[in-house]
Homo-oligomer: A and B are copies of this chain.
């Protein structure tokens, strides 16, 4: 597969085509050790243990059950830093506003940014505001970049070993299902499905300081749990095994996914993390995660298997095995 001549939505899915675009068109031009790690953020060489990360948020609709683009923009970047073992401290906030946005909507988003930043213990210290013509945007796009201090160095999927446990910090697919329902105008169905959008700093700190041997953390956003595990497998060269019946999924999310024809394993999460820890310390990690708000439904959902070099296999409820690949195409565009 090579990059097509025209960018399609598939290139923004967070899956195969996104990887290809980055590896073919971006990395070769900018290559350096920090960037090439392709982690959620960069640990800066020679910069006194700084972690640096960025994310642009282009979600539609701007407001959805459980959150909005402002909360997402703060939590998303805070979480990327937390996944690198960093404590987020400072954010930049850049707004690309489409002409015609009601100021009331902007106020609501900024209130949400304020609350989320206070909740996550970060300060917005610099920013930028641009306005684009009608039909050149979608109400509001937000970019945040964040600086954090590295508290737990050395996290990387390259550290994974055969036998390691894979822990998911809670239920899968909530954010993706909530946004897709909101986009379909399907909110009236009880609104039981809410985005899990949340800052994960405290959860990450809990597991990283629990004494468990943590190999790596990552928050499975675009592309979902399946795509993140494929990235781990690719990066480590080790296979992974996932047990379908052990993956926590809310009944309402499962129902929504059936309705919408989505695979919950590829649905985005915005308040969950995947942790790979040594088998011996999995219980320690689980206990530490479950003691936090964001991690109370944490569960071991799989293991690192030496056998299937680089493959992620889902052991299904029916006893079968299904090879999982990175998201191909655009199951869930524009949800974070």
Given A4-B103, A90-B42, A104-B5, is A128 in contact with B30 using a C-beta cutoff of 8 Å? no
* Cα–Cα distance between A95 and B56 once the two chains are bound (Å): 8
Do A47 and B131 touch across chains, with their CB atoms under 8 A apart? no
**A88 contacts partner chain B, Cβ-Cβ < 8 Å:** no
Nearest B residue to A56 via CB reads B94
Does the CB pair A25–B103 fall under 8 Å? Answer: yes
Cβ-neighbour of A125 out of B52, B114, B129 (below 8 A) = B52
Complex: how many Å from CA A52 to CA B104? 29
Chain B neighbourhood of A54, CB < 8 A: 92-94, 126-128, 143, 145
Contact indicator A47/B89 (Cβ below 8 Å): yes
A117 interfacial by beta-carbon distance below 8 Å: yes
Residue A232, interface by CB 8 Å: no
| 0 or 1 for each of A2-21: is its CB under 8 Å from B? (1 = yes) | 01111111111100001001
Sample of 14 more A-B contacts, CB < 8 Å, known A13-B131, A52-B145, A133-B333? A7-B99, A7-B131, A22-B127, A25-B107, A32-B124, A32-B125, A35-B124, A35-B125, A41-B126, A44-B89, A58-B96, A132-B334, A133-B138, A137-B138
Show 12 A/B contacts (Cβ-Cβ < 8 Å), sorted by A.
Answer: A3-B103, A6-B101, A7-B97, A7-B100, A8-B99, A32-B124, A34-B123, A54-B94, A54-B143, A55-B94, A137-B137, A147-B147
Q: Which residues of A are interface residues toward B (Cβ below 8 A)? A: 3-13, 18, 21-22, 25-26, 29-30, 32, 34-35, 41-42, 44, 47-48, 50, 52-56, 58, 89-90, 92-104, 106-107, 110-111, 113-114, 117, 123-133, 135-138, 141, 143, 145, 147, 333-334
